[in-house]
Amino acid sequence: MEDALAERLLPWYREHRRDLSFRRTKDPYAILVSEVLLQRTRVVSGVPYFERFMARFPTVVDLANASEEQVLKAWEGLGFYGRARNLHRAGKAIVGDHSGQVPRTFAGLRELPGIGDYTAGAVASIAFGERVSAIDGNAARVLARVFRILGDLTRGEARKRLVGIGESLVPPSDPGAYNQALMELGATVCRPRTPLCTTCPLGSLCGAYRDGNPERYPQRFVRPPPPVIRVAFALVERKGKVLLVRRPSGGLLAGLWALPGGEIIGKTSAGAAIRESLKDLGVRGRVLGVSGRVDHTFSHRRWTGTVHRVRASGPTRLGGDALWAGPKEIQRLPLVPFHRRFLERGRGDDAAGTGTIRDLDMGEPF
């Protein structure tokens, strides 16, 4: 079985692999970028980001010299923004501690921020030919089916079995192609639902296929629906500019610029919540009405609520984490993706279809 898998996988891969830009490079830095960028991200949605990222930061020195804001801007829309910050830190470490050379071993790569077992294995095998495994979700699904691994593949005994089997199968020659082949098979043939077993190069090497129940693997576990959290944001206008605040450097949407506002605690009204957050920023004004709705689901919580137009009055002195943004800044800054549409729609009259929010003290100046 050991060699049989690789022997079937490699010819299949040469024939069927998708022609993707990140597969055309041998530059270890580019491979590292692509692997971080594809963490928890589908290949098709990651590719345009990869191309833009490499155009923007062609070398690790360019990345290391960039500001965190510039890196975040290139990441805007991809999600899991901690990845961007970690990749930036990794770039600085490569330049600062490794003479600008990407570490050539699994162990060396594993030390970099944002590089876990998967990414270290992928870069070590693909860029440097080290015989290590790289088991992403696609590869895990293939192995779970071939070897009929039951249980939760992310932890415990099932995880151990998966990793043990995965490591034992990596061939000494071209482990990078082998790892990519396994992942590619999972992505395109051994799909989560309705796998294309009739065209699979593994055929009856696969235990689940022989049993006639490939979809039984890997086992799925119920994911409880995320808690719904009320939010309210303010679209504050003054002299054609809009008020933005920088989100904290840790946590949700870390480091992105956003409309002021956020989660609402308890029974506070949306209007009151907005007045409160603007008061904290030293901004005075009046809430005019609702200009849109937010309904956005993250990994672990769901935001639902409203965006309110606010007319600011009087002068304001803003700190470093707040600014009045004109069109130029709106274009240049990394923004919360689902806030951007409110800014680009411009001054937007109170949108129809959002329903009228009855907030009796709405128009009060504050």
What residues line the site for DNA (CB under 7 A)? 38-42, 44-45, 77-82, 86, 113-120, 136-138, 140-141, 155, 186-187, 192-194, 220, 223, 225, 250-254, 295-300, 336-338
Whichever of 298 and 313 has its CB closer to DNA, that residue is 298
Residue 142: name the closest of 35, 32, 8 by CA. 8
Burial per residue of 232-245, b for 16 or more beta-carbon CB atoms within 10 angstroms, e otherwise: bbbbbbbeebbbbb
Residue 130: name the closest of 107, 152, 151 by CA. 107
Whichever of 24 and 155 has its CB closer to DNA, that residue is 155
Shortest distance, position 231 Cβ to DNA, whole Å: 13
Helix axes 28-37, 117-128, angle to 10 degrees: 150
Shortest distance, position 223 Cβ to DNA, whole Å: 6
Whichever of 1 and 298 has its CB closer to DNA, that residue is 298
**Spatial distance between the Cα atoms of 39 and 42, rounded to a whole number of angstroms:** 8
35 catalytic per annotation: yes
Q: What is the DSSP string of 313-339?
A: ES-----TTEEEE-HHHHHHS-B-HHH
Whichever of 223 and 267 has its CB closer to DNA, that residue is 223
Is the Cα torsion angle 298, 303, 306, 309 positive or negative in sign?
negative
Shortest distance, position 78 Cβ to DNA, whole Å: 6
Any idea which residue has 């006639």 for tokens?
A: 212
Catalytic site residue from 35, 130, 184, 237:
35
> Which uninterrupted H or E stretch holds 140?
helix 137-146
Catalytic (active-site) positions: 35
